[in-house]
Amino acid sequence: MPSGLGPTFATQPFYLATAFTSADTTVAKQILGQATGPFIVEAINVASDDTAAQVLDIFVRTSATNSLLCSVSIPAGSGKNGVVTVDALANLPTDVRAALNFTVSQTLQAALEATMTAAKTITVQVLAGSY
């Protein structure tokens, strides 16, 4: 096998952005569809124009079960007006970040811990890749 291929290097990158609004309340929502094969998550970035700070829980979904991967504190207005987006994986240990490999039967979901302000949006951007 050529170097750079395999479970630590994505060979077929894909990207998905999912918007959350107040209508989503605190119900978990899919942020990454099912890949066509095993995949690795490279990054999850979160941007918000909400005037209130929020907390987003990110889950690994296997069958009908959600397992908490991490909780992300999102400052008010992050990602807008020149403020940098929040790296959802920043607080995970380096060895965990490097091992975010998933099977075809798994996906990612996210849910807010509290309902957002009306007419505001939080966008979750996932960069992943099949290998």
pLDDT tens-digit series, residues 47-79: 998 889 999 999 999 989 999 999 999 988 876
HSE on the CB side for 3, CA within 13 Å?
Answer: 0
- Label residue 3 by pLDDT band (50, 70, 90): very low
Distance of CA 94 to the CA centre of its chain: 17
pLDDT at 123 over 60: yes
Sorted by where each begins, the domain ranges of the chain are 12-130
| Dist CA 84 CA 47 (whole Å) | 8
3-state SS, residue 9: strand
Q: Cβ distance 109 to 20 under 8 Å?
A: no
Helix (H) or strand (E) run with residue 96 in it: helix 94-97
Q: What is the pLDDT of residue 59?
A: 95
Q: Are strands 39-48 and 122-130 parallel, antiparallel or unpaired?
A: antiparallel
Residue 81: per-residue pLDDT: 60
Mean pLDDT of 110-114: 97
Q: What is the DSSP secondary structure assignment for residue 38, as one 8-state letter?
A: -
Give me the pLDDT at residue 16, please.
86
Whether domain 12-130 has CATH 2.60.120.220: yes
Residue 83's pLDDT is 60
pLDDT tens for each residue of 6-47? 455 667 778 889 999 999 999 999 998 766 778 889 899 999
Amino acid letter for position 122: I
Look at residue 71 and give its three-state secondary structure. strand
